[in-house]
């Protein structure tokens, strides 16, 4: 058994340390599989850097309008190659993943268009963008874009027959796929699952644009959705593809003509991608993308470890230890309000930043329920760094993600278990 060093620095119950040692032994085979994916993606990204001739000069910043920023153009070619696409936008001035998705949606959809979500109700912050519950000011519904969805089956998987039926009954400009689970316990979609959805769309509605919200999924497999049939993907740089180094930003990648439409929405028609000062952020975005495959591998190891640990402690988890993963998120159902709070407070105590902070539930903008978040990160809100959060509602589940390196993330997970033990929410 590998000896744990954690109690050289932290006070973890010896019974938890014993369980930890058994978990590490059981993880060896899964970790080897993750290392294979990491190596493949790291070499893919390295090849993209070499192919596009990245140089020191490419990392210089621009100001003002940012015209003729050669480094920005090269970065976007590197990102396109890394995602297996014709083209990409990768900018620090996307303020979040939701903003990035919004730019793509408004870039591609027009009044009178219809969009069909293939993965049921989307996550909380994008609901207002679609205008699902009400035509909020500036939503797609406010602009005359009609949203419809095909609910998931009882087991949380897409309803392929329902999707084919819906597509055959109306004309949809876009078929929209949310890869990650959001605040739900349904399975995240694997690349093979997305391939199956894309094939169903092409079979019935070949003219529909297939867009994938790729947040949390980048580099978790050897292929991206755009390599199995999706037309366009989008995500956040303070999640997987920023590698824990990018301080902000987002990306959109896909077919060239679609990226051009998104660029016109990002800036303005007639200017598009030709403007946009990088303000010295290019180096961080280059470094983040280069580091991303390795960091994602560490986050996957953390998720696998946490899954097996908390299932061993008697809590429902999804994905389970041996299941294929479509993203870096690990859901642990704690069952009680107090258990969820203790979990997040314990994880916060193992963070490199703000470890002394005690998270409390709060009314977070964009969410209907109070949310508690453990996020002691170098970049605020960066969920590629170890974090955990969840709404204070049944089934009182924590959605954990990230971990810049497995060794420190493992400690954070153990501290979460320790806090729950102290609160009487774990029985050993």
Contacts with 72 (C-beta within 8 Å, 6 or more apart), sequence order: 62, 66, 91, 276, 278, 282
**Alpha carbon distances (Å) from 83 to 23, 213, 228:** 33, 13, 11
Q: 415 Cβ partners below 8 Å, 6+ apart? A: 10, 12, 346, 347, 349, 350
Q: Is pLDDT of 3 > 70?
A: no
pLDDT of residue 2 exceeding 60, the answer is: no
Mean pLDDT of 189-212: 98
Average pLDDT over residues 21-35: 97
Mean pLDDT, residues 269-295: 97
CA distances from 217 to 189, 194, 234, 292 (A): 9, 12, 10, 12
Q: What 3-state DSSP class applies to 256?
A: helix
Summarised one tens digit per residue, pLDDT across range 112-143 is 999 999 999 998 889 999 999 887 789 999 99
Measured CA to CA in angstroms, residue 342 lies from 70, 172, 362, 404 at distances of 49, 45, 15, 23
Percentage of the chain beyond pLDDT 90 is 92
pLDDT of residue 417: 97
Instruction: From 359, 328, 342, select the one nearest 416 (Cα to Cα).
Output: 342
Is residue 185 over pLDDT 90? no
415: pLDDT strictly greater than 70: yes
DSSP string, 258-271: HHHHHHHHHS-TTT
Compute the residue count for the chain.
428
As given in the structure block, the two tokens for residue 288 are 């983040």
The beta-carbon contacts of 386-394 under 8 Å, at least 24 apart in sequence, are 386/302, 386/347, 386/350, 386/351, 386/412, 387/347, 388/343, 388/344, 388/347, 388/416, 389/344, 390/183, 390/340, 390/344, 391/183, 391/367, 392/337, 392/340, 392/361, 393/369
User: Residue 293, by phi and psi: left (phi above 0), alpha (psi -120 to 50) or beta?
Assistant: alpha
Q: pLDDT confidence of 183, banded at 50, 70, 90?
A: confident
Q: How far is 156 from 152, CA to CA, in rounded Å?
A: 5
- Residues 408-424 have a mean pLDDT of 96
Sign of the Cα torsion 337, 342, 345, 346 reads: negative
- Residue 1 has a pLDDT of 43
Alpha carbon distances (Å) from 312 to 307, 315, 418:
8, 7, 14
237, pLDDT greater than 60:
yes
Confidence band for 366, pLDDT divided at 50, 70 and 90: low
Determine the average pLDDT of the residues in 14-40.
Answer: 97
Could you check whether the bond before residue 224 is cis, i.e. omega within 30 degrees of 0? no
| 209, β-bridge pairs | 174
Question: Could you tell me if 332 and 312 are in contact, meaning their C-beta atoms sit under 8 angstroms apart?
Answer: no
| Strand ranges of the sheet holding 114-117, from the earlier edge strand across to the other edge | 87-91, 250-254, 232-236, 209-213, 174-178, 114-117, 146-149
Query: Domains of the chain (ranges plus CATH)?
Result: 6-43+290-422 (3.90.1150.60), 60-280 (3.40.640.10)
Nearest to 402 by CA among 393, 392, 413: 413
Q: What is the pLDDT of residues 148-165, one digit of tens each?
A: 999 999 999 999 999 999
Q: Is the pLDDT of residue 190 over 80?
A: yes
Question: Coil, helix or strand for 383?
Answer: coil
pLDDT tens, residue by residue, 54-100:
999 999 999 999 999 999 999 999 999 999 999 999 999 999 999 99
Longest pairwise C-alpha distance within the chain: 65
**pLDDT of 182:** 79
* 218: its two tokens: 């980048």
Kindly write down the DSSP assignment for every residue of 298-361, as one continuous string.
HHHHHHHHHHHHHHHTT--EES-TTS--SSS-EEEE--SHHHHHHHHHHHHTT-SSSTT-----
Note whether 384 and 215 are within 8 A (CB). Answer: no
The mean pLDDT of the chain is 95
C-alpha span between 242 and 231 (Å, rounded): 22
Flag whether pLDDT at 375 surpasses 50: yes
């Amino acid at each position: 058994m590998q000896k744990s060093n954690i109690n050289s620095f932290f006070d973890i119950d010896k019974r938890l340390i014993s369980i930890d040692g058994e978990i590490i032994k059981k993880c060896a085979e899964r970790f080897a599989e993750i290392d294979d994916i990491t190596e493949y993606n790291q070499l893919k990204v390295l090849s993209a850097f070499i192919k596009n001739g990245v140089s020191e000069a490419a990392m210089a910043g621009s100001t003002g309008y940012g015209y003729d920023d050669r480094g920005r153009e090269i970065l976007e070619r590197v990102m396109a190659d890394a995602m297996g696409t014709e083209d990409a936008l990768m900018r620090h001035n996307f303020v979040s993943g939701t903003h990035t998705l919004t730019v793509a949606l408004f870039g591609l959809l027009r009044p009178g268009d219809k969009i069909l979500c293939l993965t049921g109700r989307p996550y909380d912050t994008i609901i207002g963008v679609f205008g699902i519950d009400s035509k909020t000011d500036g939503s797609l519904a406010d602009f005359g874009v009609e949203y419809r969805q095909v609910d998931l089956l009882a087991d949380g998987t897409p309803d392929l027959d329902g999707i084919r039926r819906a597509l055959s009954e109306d004309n949809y400009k876009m078929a929209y796929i949310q890869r990650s689970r959001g605040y739900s316990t349904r399975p995240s979609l694997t690349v093979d699952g997305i391939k199956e959805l894309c094939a169903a769309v092409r079979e019935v509605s070949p003219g529909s644009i297939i867009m994938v919200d790729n947040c949390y999924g980048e580099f978790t497999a050897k292929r991206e959705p755009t390599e199995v049939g999706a037309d366009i993907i989008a995500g956040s740089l303070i999640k997987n593809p920023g590698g824990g180094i990018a301080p902000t930003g987002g990306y959109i990648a896909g077919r060239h003509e679609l990226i051009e439409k998104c660029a016109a929405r990002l800036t303005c028609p007639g200017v598009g991608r030709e403007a946009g000062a990088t303000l010295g952020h290019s180096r961080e975005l280059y470094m983040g993308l280069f580091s991303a495959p390795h960091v994602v591998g560490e986050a996957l190891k953390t998720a696998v470890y946490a899954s097996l640990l908390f299932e061993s402690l008697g809590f429902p988890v999804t994905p389970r230890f041996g299941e294929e993963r479509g993203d870096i998120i690990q859901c642990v159902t704690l069952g009680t309000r107090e258990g969820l709070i203790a979990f997040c407070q314990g994880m916060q105590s193992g963070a490199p930043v703000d470890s002394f902070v005690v998270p409390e539930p709060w009314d977070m903008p964009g969410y209907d329920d109070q949310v508690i978040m453990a996020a002691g990160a170098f970049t605020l809100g960066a969920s590629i760094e170890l974090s955990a959060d969840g709404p204070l509602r049944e089934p009182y589940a924590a959605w954990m993600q990230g971990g810049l390196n497995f060794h420190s993330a493992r400690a954070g997970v153990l501290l979460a278990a320790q806090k729950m033990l102290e609160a009487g929410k774990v029985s050993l």
